[in-house]
Amino acid sequence: MKPIIGITMSIENDTSFINWRYTKAIIQAGGIPVGIPLGLEEDALQLIHMVDGLVLSGGGDLHPHTFGEEPHVNLGQVNSDRDRLELALAKEAIKRQIPIFAICRGHQVLNVALGGTLFQDIYSQNQNIYLHSQKAPRHEGTHFISVKQDSLLYKLLGKETMTVNSFHHQSVKRAASNIKVVGKAGDGIIEAIEIVDYPFCLSVQWHPEEMAVEGDEDSKKLFTAFIEESLKNKVG
């Protein structure tokens, strides 16, 4: 039996969708991806008990009201319905302690769900920031990050320095109290976090699904480890 992986969906022009690279990366690693549409925040507890692992996927900006701020002039498109669902799912997943793989927006959702805050626009709220919306092809790494040795990321990959791809203008500002920062770009932007004393949580600012489906071995290892942990957690 393969593990069932719940994955959050984007919405645009009244259409819910999942970038196929998420589903392909999960399938290649041995999981069965199942999309979770908007409007089910009241059913988050039941949904989390139906899946073996959760992917919080990428997408648009979080509304700053979710972390107690007014909107910055450079805030991008937001969707409060998606915010409500994903924050509810993240909180229930953490309570149940199922494996979590949080990617880009999902990385930010995880931090906000635990009480952290975000930079609404890294370029205007920081100085000397790298390009984090790359011009290179989506599957290519574009900037370096440093990885702490006492982290799940280092345990899985054995690297203190990585090259990652980048497509964001929001990022973690203040990490939640039970979050450990385990990866940063050279400009100080937080690129990887973990939940303290949590069984399995990968939370990254980049897009490993884009790299995994194009054969990047490190990215494939991350998905494989997530699926293996989700299989151990299999509910039925």
Q: Annotated catalytic sites, by residue? A: 104, 207, 209
How many C-beta neighbours within 10 Å does residue 236 have? 7
Signed CA dihedral, 62, 63, 67, 70: sign only? positive
CA atoms within 13 A on the CB side of 217: 3
Tokens at 110, concatenated? 């995880």
- Amino acid at site 65: H
Distances (CA, A) of 172 to 2, 17, 149, 191: 33, 25, 20, 8
Residue 74 phi/psi, 5-degree rounding, is -100, 15
- Amino acid at site 52: D
Tokens at 231, concatenated? 């299989």
Please, what is the end-to-end C-alpha distance for the chain in angstroms?
9
